[in-house]
Amino acid sequence: MIASRVGLATYRRLPDLSLEDRKLVPALAALGLAAEPVVWDAASEVSNKLGAVVIRSCWDYHLRIDDFFAWLAGLEQRGVRVLNSPSLIRWNADKRYLLDLSSRGVATVPTRVVRRGESAGLAAALEEVGADEAVVKPAVSASAHATWRTSRRHAKNDSGRFQAAVAAGDVLVQPLISDIADAGEWSLICFRGTPSHAVLKRPAIGDWRVQGEFGGTAELRPPPPGLIDGAIRVLAAAGAERSSYARVDGYLDNGRLVLMELELIEPQLYLDLEPAAADCFARAIAESLAG
């Protein structure tokens, strides 16, 4: 039986949902699905009444990953359907998934994973990814949390910071893609594996991060052919062809998509930029529940 009540999972700072997710509520209602907010770490008594929970604005999950996984497991044990699937979410939460996708033939940004406690130095990691300038980030992170920029020139001075990061957890070292400052980073939003809309993101002048929290901008654009073809290959390699929602982030290199992130947990989907997107997302949720 298809669930008639759906929880939209959020976090304590947005108990009434994000502006984006509020657009989803009437779109779901039009399909006979009553949607309500579910604060993920305060929802055990509410979740029992729901047939499904859609992970949306759980934007602190990376800070409490063990608690978040325990909450997901609790939903599974109570028979509450979770979208996207918990198995995909657990895999996608650790950015080492990039290595999995690379081994499956996906073009990804070069990535060196330095495991917690590993003795590898920053200069050696930069050499391995062939980067004069690079980005360092935790393997479990979101919204550029604890992400910082370094270079071969500054590797010695940044060594202490790097070792502190590695002592705290697994760390990724990736080349800084300087072309993004001019050409931008593409995001393709897909529902049930079908491309919906594309967004071109650019960092603020003088910055290198495209997130809005750091002054980055996002503009609705027609998706280039290489973006669509590449994103479909990424979803296939990830086993996420029928995921209710996905955002594929990357840049184009001579018309070929190079993956930077595959977002299957709590991505901004830019529903405010594409008028039909909320209805497409609602239909994808309904189809996932029916299937």
Instruction: Answer whether residue 285 is part of any domain.
Output: no
123 and 257 in one domain?
no
CA dihedral for 258, 264, 268, 274, sign (positive or negative): positive
86 and 49 in one domain?
yes
191 and 162 in one domain?
no
The amino acid occupying position 29 is A
73 and 171 in one domain?
no
Number of domains in the chain: 3
Instruction: Answer whether residue 168 is part of any domain.
Output: yes
pLDDT of residue 147: 87
259 and 130 in one domain?
no
DSSP bridge partners of 249 = 187, 261
Nearest one of 5, 17, 106, 95 to 46, comparing CA atoms? 5
Instruction: Answer whether residue 35 is part of any domain.
Output: yes
> Which residue, 175, 202, 220, sits at the end of a domain?
175
Over residues 124-151, the pLDDT tens digits come to: 999 999 989 999 999 998 766 788 899 9
Instruction: Answer whether residue 37 is part of any domain.
Output: yes
How many C-beta atoms surround the C-beta of residue 291 within 10 A?
A: 8
CATH number of 48's domain: 3.40.50.20
| pTM for the predicted model, two decimal places | 0.94
pLDDT of residue 12: 93
Contact 230, 249 (CB under 8 A): no
CATH number of 147's domain: 3.30.1490
DSSP bridge partners of 252 = 257
Hey, which bits of the chain come out as E strands?
5-10, 34-39, 52-57, 81-83, 112-114, 133-138, 148-151, 171-175, 185-191, 194-202, 217-221, 246-253, 256-263
DSSP bridge partners of 198 = 188, 221
pLDDT of residue 131: 86
245 and 133 in one domain?
no
102 and 189 in one domain?
yes
Its domain, for residue 12, covers 5-92
Nearest one of 210, 211, 199, 119 to 163, comparing CA atoms? 119
Instruction: Answer whether residue 15 is part of any domain.
Output: yes
Instruction: Answer whether residue 270 is part of any domain.
Output: no
76 and 46 in one domain?
yes
pLDDT of residue 146: 80
18 and 71 in one domain?
yes
Q: Which residues, at least 6 apart from 50, have a Cβ–Cβ distance to it below 8 Å? A: 3, 5, 6, 7, 36, 38, 80
pLDDT of residue 215: 76
> Which residue, 175, 203, 223, sits at the end of a domain?
175
Q: How many CA atoms lie within 13 A of 33 on its CB side?
A: 29
Over residues 2-59, the pLDDT tens digits come to: 568 999 999 999 999 999 999 999 999 999 999 999 999 885 555 667 889 999 999 9
125 and 35 in one domain?
no
* Structure token digits, residue 150: 């370094």
> Which residue, 63, 92, 121, sits at the end of a domain?
92
Instruction: Answer whether residue 75 is part of any domain.
Output: yes
Which residues of the chain fall below pLDDT 50? 1
CATH number of 200's domain: 3.30.470.20
How far apart are alpha carbons 110 and 98 in whole angstroms?
A: 9
pLDDT of residue 1: 40
Contact 129, 111 (CB under 8 A): yes
239 and 101 in one domain?
yes
195 and 162 in one domain?
no
Instruction: Answer whether residue 124 is part of any domain.
Output: yes
